[in-house]
């Protein structure tokens, strides 16, 4: 196993990393005063971080989504936040106690990203139902307003104009569109790229918009003319993150190739470039002092990269292979656990904060009974015990059949030999008197 850890303290008192999620991290966002951060993860949680003293501390771990949480944003004032996820839900959070103030379930389609208008009154959400959803925040409630339709494929990104009158969307059909926020009417197709638009970033002043696409393209478009005003360097893989400093001075792109590029947003010179060979970069945030980029991806933590001043040696803050990328184990059951289970579950008794609860002691345990884990109502209402047969059935027929209505992702193993190997491994690895062998140690990291 190759392990590369963060080096010395990051410039200007920023934390070296944000560690606390139980799965790959989808997004990272700083508060306006940059004393706190929000992250979302495959482990279904939204975490509020205190980073004011140069160290990261979990202030609130917020559980409410029934699938991967994809994006979160602070509302103005910093007392509330909103988030979206693969469950098609939009949640309004009270950051004082981590409670859900309001929830809107829009259906089964993913909601990948969101934007908050300047005043915080309106939300736009990018959905894989081929539309963007508009909401109004009224007191402590999310009020659905309308859907922005006319896209030929999934909507991946949204942005508001500074005056809140226009909503921009970027879709997998390769088009950036503008809509009237007031009535939802399509104003026009701003730009046709051809390849899917993954991310949008409105530039300072609201006259230009930057985009990143599935073909690796990064460009800046003049909104009025629809023409590309600046073509930036292509990534080798799809562009998955695009962010700007609050003052509009720096623009950064992150891609599936693990590369981050930081540009002067006026002269359009490339200031710095960084590469994590164990990419991708799914989420990113730049600090106002132009010193640090927080970036997120397949790791269970958010890494920090010191942009300025550059360090003479920059070890990558990731480990590889990750627990779900194990390929060299001699135990076929351990291999199936790594591939099918380890993103959501751990084998240890004291770690239940991934998408699913710890599997320690699972054999003989009544379904939905582990203290402290936020089970779905479907599992709380279920009436059976986890045994060799029920676990085998889970992977034979699928969670949608064995535990219908739960938030378990569909994972199936049609091979009897593979199912038996997985059950044997789990029975040994989760026993209370089991001595962890090497595969478990590697997989559990």
Average pLDDT in the 86-92 region? 95
**Top-confidence range, 258-272, 306-320, 358-372, 422-436:** 258-272
pLDDT tens, residue by residue, 219-242 = 999 999 999 999 999 999 999 999
pLDDT tens, residue by residue, 279-290 = 899 999 999 999
**CATH number attached to the domain at 323-443:** 1.10.760.10
Whole-number mean pLDDT of the chain?
A: 89
Cα distances (Å, whole numbers) of residue 12 to 16, 54, 414: 11, 8, 53
| pLDDT cut 90: percent of the chain above it | 66
pLDDT at residue 121 is higher than 90: yes
Q: Which residue has the higher pLDDT, 374 or 284?
A: 284
- Of the candidates 11, 36, 51, 19, the residue with the CA atom closest to the CA atom of residue 307: 11
The pLDDT-based confidence of 17 (bands split at 50, 70, 90) is very high
| pLDDT at residue 287 in the model | 96
Q: Which residue has the higher pLDDT, 252 or 360?
A: 252
Class of domain 2-319 as given by CATH: mainly beta
Contact of 211 with 240, CB cutoff 8 Å? no
Cα distances (Å, whole numbers) of residue 30 to 33, 81, 218, 306, 392: 8, 12, 23, 16, 43
> d(Cα 401, Cα 71) in Å, to the nearest integer?
29
| pLDDT at residue 4 in the model | 36
Domain boundaries, the chain: 2-319, 323-443
Q: Which helix (H) or strand (E) holds 301?
A: strand 301-306
| pLDDT at residue 354 in the model | 66
pLDDT tens, residue by residue, 180-207 = 999 999 999 999 999 999 999 999 999 9
| pLDDT at residue 2 in the model | 35
> d(Cα 322, Cα 316) in Å, to the nearest integer?
14
């Amino acid at each position: 196993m190759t392990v590369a850890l963060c080096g010395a303290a990051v410039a200007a008192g920023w934390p070296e990393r944000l560690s606390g999620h139980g799965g790959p991290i989808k997004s990272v966002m700083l508060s306006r005063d940059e004393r706190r951060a929000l992250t979302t993860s495959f482990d279904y949680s939204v975490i509020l971080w205190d980073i004011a003293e140069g160290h990261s501390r979990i202030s609130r771990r917020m559980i409410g989504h029934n699938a991967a949480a994809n994006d979160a944003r602070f509302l103005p004032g910093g007392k509330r936040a909103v988030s979206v996820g693969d469950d098609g839900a939009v949640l309004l959070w009270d950051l004082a106690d981590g409670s859900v103030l309001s929830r809107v379930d829009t259906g089964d389609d993913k909601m990948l990203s969101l934007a908050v208008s300047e005043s915080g009154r309106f939300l736009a959400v990018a959905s894989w139902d081929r539309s963007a959803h508009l909401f109004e925040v009224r007191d402590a409630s999310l009020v659905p307003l309308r859907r922005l339709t006319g896209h030929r494929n999934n909507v991946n990104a949204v942005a508001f104009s500074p005056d809140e009158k226009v909503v921009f969307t970027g879709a997998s059909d390769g088009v950036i569109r503008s809509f009237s926020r007031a009535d939802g009417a399509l104003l026009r197709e701003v730009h046709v790229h051809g390849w899917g638009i993954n991310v949008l970033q409105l530039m300072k002043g609201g006259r230009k918009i930057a985009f990143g696409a599935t073909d690796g393209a990064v460009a800046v478009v003049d909104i009025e003319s629809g023409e590309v005003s600046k073509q930036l360097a292509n990534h080798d893989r799809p562009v998955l993150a695009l962010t700007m400093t609050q003052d509009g001075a720096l623009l950064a792109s992150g891609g599936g190739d693990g590369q981050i590029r930081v540009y002067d947003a006026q002269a359009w010179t490339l200031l710095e470039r960084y590469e994590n060979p164990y990419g991708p970069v799914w989420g990113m945030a730049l600090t106002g002092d132009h010193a640090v980029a927080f970036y997120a991806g397949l790791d269970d933590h958010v890494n920090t990269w010191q942009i300025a001043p550059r360090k003479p040696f920059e070890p990558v803050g990731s480990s590889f292979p990750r627990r779900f990328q194990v390929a060299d184990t001699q135990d076929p059951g351990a291999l199936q656990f790594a591939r099918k289970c380890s993103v959501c579950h751990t084998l240890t008794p004291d770690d239940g904060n991934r998408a699913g609860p710890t599997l320690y002691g699972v054999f003989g345990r009544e379904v939905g009974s582990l203290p402290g884990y936020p089970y779905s109502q479907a599992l709380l209402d279920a009436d059976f015990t986890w045994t060799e047969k029920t676990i085998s059935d889970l992977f034979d027929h699928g969670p949608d059949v064995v535990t219908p209505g739960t938030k378990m992702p569909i994972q199936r193993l049609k091979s009897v030999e593979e199912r038996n190997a997985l059950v044997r491994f789990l029975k040994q690895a989760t026993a209370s008197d089991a001595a962890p062998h090497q595969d478990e140690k590697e997989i559990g990291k």
